[in-house]
Structure 1
């Protein structure tokens, strides 16, 4: 059975309008404080029974692919041992996943910072009743623990969120499919990727018993999802969570087009819920006050909307026309100076969605734009089939555009300018090198590249933005100094540095800036949402080579020599992509195959 090809079909029936299910009460804060004997290093961290084989534990080698060795026991004096009292053996099957506190005890202890958790201290919020009895084997227990202790902290990227660290672990107590899916993601997230010198884009997951275990658990989770999802507000909540988990697992293992397909379907469910809450215009305040859908889940699906538009958007113009006026009153009341990164991020993402929906609605409403010189045909290799999209900066709005829409475009551009002005004081006061600065800098380069995309919609000349492109790569190189990017197999659920970098590598014809972007994507080797840094580096290097065949002695590339991606054919089974590009001037076509 091909587990990664399995899809979820979510059908919400007999949902009662206005029905609200009370939110579960906040669960207790539990602290990670393992009380373990010596054995070896990794067993102490993961509470795996050691088989005491030296120099390496066979159980670690079998499941995790590595063993980090033994520690030298630290013996206490007889007097100290007597003070500690007699040691009594406990059944490991009844040991709590996290040490229990008295019901009325305050919860003050937190995890200590590590290189992976340098945002500060993390509270672990889990139900008291989750113990090792809840898991069928040590492999289940170990994988779930790995998600809690490691994966949940890297998934948010540079921006902290309670979704992965709190909401989903809490929900896993009452919902089996969530616990099984988190177990699968925890097992998969540490499998590692293959990096080959001769094929930079080849980055498949290392096949191991742990990988097979992850696939098995994912298949079980999908079956549980189908059985669990029912109508009503609780069914909606679970349906959206199921979509998030499927997208996360499929993206993590490199099935980007399956993840994209679920992302599009899941966002449609979310939009239908929005429309049902208010058929005219759903405001931010109305959404955030809903007890049926957690605030963080709402924010995640709004970011999914951006990912779809940045990747491949199969939705018709009617959808974009509905969504381009989202929270218009909120944008009008945008503050002159932002007071927090979260506030500035909320407004930036709102403006990005509004402007992107405007561009998409305009291009899809004009038949004359659907011509071969400005469209990319994508055979997705999924049930969605073949779609046509307008790539960024290759969508040139017609000069015959009605005056009313040109005025509307100017107003959207003004929103981005207002955001940059309001953001400048907050950004300038961040301490460079800190995690907060890295997050703030990422927002800044996202805003700048989005502004270039807007401005290029009325002009195909991108060479005037070289100074912006240079700033983006200078800043991105500093962002990747953050310890988050030290992980070889880093995966974050949201868009990060890859999207701005691949846009600059695509748009900029200055050879040094372009090569720095490609080199940085290779060095980062990360996956962010649907974007794979290695794949984007390979595609952009190939296009750069074709365009630079026409470079003159001064380093100038004529406008007609610029290439655009004309055709993509995806083989999801083999995880390969046949990419065809076309020179704008001569319409000469070239093709290559990218693997991942």
Structure 2
């Protein structure tokens, strides 16, 4: 889809009509409101980056007056690459439409802040926005990330995203990739710093889509290019080192698997754990699959890799414990936002350990040995969920991990779902369901009411006629549910337009043998 096609879905005919002289209705017009509310001549609530009035009305919020109108041109600097030195291309935003400008504005004001928390302030707050002013590849990549991040944020707040915008976002992503495969207007290929930076941008884009394998693939591409750069430096073939548009030192820091002797901040702890988490997610989708685990020559190697993950995350937990103890020893109490961040990080560290410790087990009874850990995960999820509630001036709900998209996993709902499924002790399962009922959150594809409905179905299939509430009252142990009645796998197919889904549960056919049968259920849920 081209930008012209996209504009057809966002024509300004309505805007022309509202400019004609007519009796004004609504509240007083604000000079500092969003563009959409100003054109509609209604009072804007001035929520940033997008006003809630537009979102509630299902309108496309055009954001706030662009900073570009008063921005000074960036200074021209030379690019450093291992090949020929090139001059910056003409400013790519000159020919861009208002939607591209808006998405870049969102990227510059919102996305870069969240990315800077994970991969370094100098790179994301300064170098990459500056590079986007000169490089078409970086410009379109920034627009794609900004548009995807905004769509992710809108969906988490319950607002719909028009299909044309989704297609347009992917169009920007593809244009960024194409720009890297063609010479610029001066006939020069993209410089190495732009190539490496683009790989990091593509990683951020795929993280928003929860495509862990693709995100890690882009990181590996950037690392390979940087290793080639280092080889040329050692061989003395890099030419005269001039000032790079994006400093190589910043890129190296972002691409290097971050490990620290000791943590001095939550950002350092998040960076290291994030590397372990996304690396493991990639392994689960590529190498840690049943097909590879069944091959003896791979099995031993993969088992050793799991041992490495277990060791690294155990060390991470020790360092994290010292960091948290240091925070609590300070005179200034932690904000609820900080407590929530601490709880989320520990949650995903425990999930990594649980994953690598059980990945080789086909016996469902192995989960019965993890009940204490399940209890701890639920307590951490409760702390994280309560910290996301409105009211704490230091904790903006939109800026927490659950609403960021670049951070670990999917907030607390995915972790709670795993607990509901695998913790067969009635008290723990009931506690997890009650937690999601108390905090009916939406985190990416995870709706808390949906997970509650699935959890109740799982318990009905496994437990039979006894009600979960009654079983929890008598503290029914996990082994009350026979191994052959336990759900082995769950498939979910979402409806196209409403909150409906079809679930496929795989369970053993009988107490003996390995034959599985499928149980299909259709569910509907509400999200208030």
Q: Same fold (TM over 0.5)?
A: yes
Deviations 1:197-237 (A, max 9, x none): xxxxxxxx525xxx467346425524532441136524523
State the partner residue of 1:447. 349
| Matches of 1:405 and 1:173, distance apart in 2 | 44
After superposition, the Cα gap between the structure-2 partners of 1:364 and 1:507, relative to the gap in structure 1 and judged at 3 Å, is closer
After superposition, the Cα gap between the structure-2 partners of 1:573 and 1:272, relative to the gap in structure 1 and judged at 3 Å, is farther
SS of equivalent to 2:356: helix
Q: CA deviation at 1:364?
A: 5.8
State the partner residue of 2:269. 344
Judge conservation of contact 1:184–1:213 (CA < 8 Å) in 2: no
State the partner residue of 1:236. 195
State the partner residue of 1:286. none
State the partner residue of 2:325. 428
Q: CA deviation at 1:563?
A: 0.8
Judge conservation of contact 1:46–1:142 (CA < 8 Å) in 2: no
| Matches of 1:518 and 1:585, distance apart in 2 | 27
State the partner residue of 2:172. 221
State the partner residue of 2:141. 178
SS of equivalent to 2:248: coil
Q: CA deviation at 1:417?
A: 3.2
TM-score computed with the length of structure 2 as normaliser:
0.59
| Matches of 1:260 and 1:405, distance apart in 2 | 19
| Matches of 1:558 and 1:144, distance apart in 2 | 55
Structure 1 residues 131-210: aligned runs within 5 Å? 136-137=97-98, 141-150=101-110, 152-153=112-113, 155=114, 162=121, 165-175=125-135, 176-181=139-144, 184-185=147-148, 188=151, 191-192=154-155, 205-206=159-160
Q: Structure 2: which 5+ runs fail to align? A: 4-26, 46-50, 76-89, 182-188, 232-245, 328-332, 389-394, 511-515
| Matches of 1:216 and 1:442, distance apart in 2 | 33
Deviations 1:387-419 (A, max 9, x none): xxxxxxxxxx99xx87x9878865654443333
State the partner residue of 2:372. 467
Structure 1 residues 47-446: aligned runs within 5 Å? 50-51=38-39, 53=41, 66=57, 96-97=68-69, 136-137=97-98, 141-150=101-110, 152-153=112-113, 155=114, 162=121, 165-175=125-135, 176-181=139-144, 184-185=147-148, 188=151, 191-192=154-155, 205-206=159-160, 211=162, 214-215=165-166, 217-218=168-169, 220-222=171-173, 224-230=175-181, 233-234=192-193, 236-237=195-196, 239-241=198-200, 243-244=202-203, 246-247=205-206, 251=209, 259=211, 262-263=214-215, 266-267=218-219, 269-270=221-222, 272-273=224-225, 291=248, 294-295=251-252, 298=255, 335=261, 338-349=263-274, 369=294, 413-430=310-327, 431-446=333-348
State the partner residue of 2:420. 505
2:419 matched to 1:490? no
Structure 1 stretch displaced more, 411-420 or 469-478:
411-420
Question: Pairwise CA RMSD of aligned residues?
Answer: 5.5
After superposition, the Cα gap between the structure-2 partners of 1:568 and 1:293, relative to the gap in structure 1 and judged at 3 Å, is farther
After superposition, the Cα gap between the structure-2 partners of 1:576 and 1:290, relative to the gap in structure 1 and judged at 3 Å, is farther
Q: CA deviation at 1:562?
A: 1.7
Judge conservation of contact 1:543–1:563 (CA < 8 Å) in 2: yes
State the partner residue of 1:382. none
The match for 1:581 among 505, 509, 523 is 505
